[in-house]
Amino acid sequence: MLAPDAMAGAGGTEFNNVWTLLTGWVEGLLGRIIAIVFVIVGLVAGVVRGSIMGFVLGVASGVGLFAAPTIITNIVTATL
């Protein structure tokens, strides 16, 4: 008895609706609101600590949140 061949990453249409929903949230209005909250919290943390790093981290988190779906798509669909 031999094990069947394993194929990775070729299909997955079952989760396409979930991916579309989450991507829409992150890249849409909800993602913008969360990014603004990241920046505001980072700004407040920076003022409290007397450092600009909180603000920088907030901006980086907001940009990372917005860019995450594109990065994940490019990593998963990359071929060698």
Each residue of 53-78: pLDDT tens digit?
Answer: 888 888 898 888 888 889 988 888 87
pLDDT confidence of residue 30: 92
Return d(Cα 70, Cα 26) in angstroms, integer: 11
Instruction: Indicate the average pLDDT of the chain.
Output: 84
pLDDT band at 9 (very low <50, low <70, confident <90, very high): low
Q: What is the pLDDT of residue 10?
A: 59
Q: What is the pTM of this model?
A: 0.67
17-37 pLDDT, tens per residue?
988 999 999 889 998 899 889
Concatenate the DSSP letters of all residues of 49-62 into one string: HT-SHHHHHHHHHH
Report d(CA 21, CA 11) in Å as an integer. Answer: 18
| Cβ atoms of residues 28 and 34 within 8 Å | no
Query: By three-state DSSP, how is residue 10 classified?
Result: coil
Q: What are phi and psi of 8, to 5 degrees?
A: -115, 140
Domain boundaries, the chain: 26-76
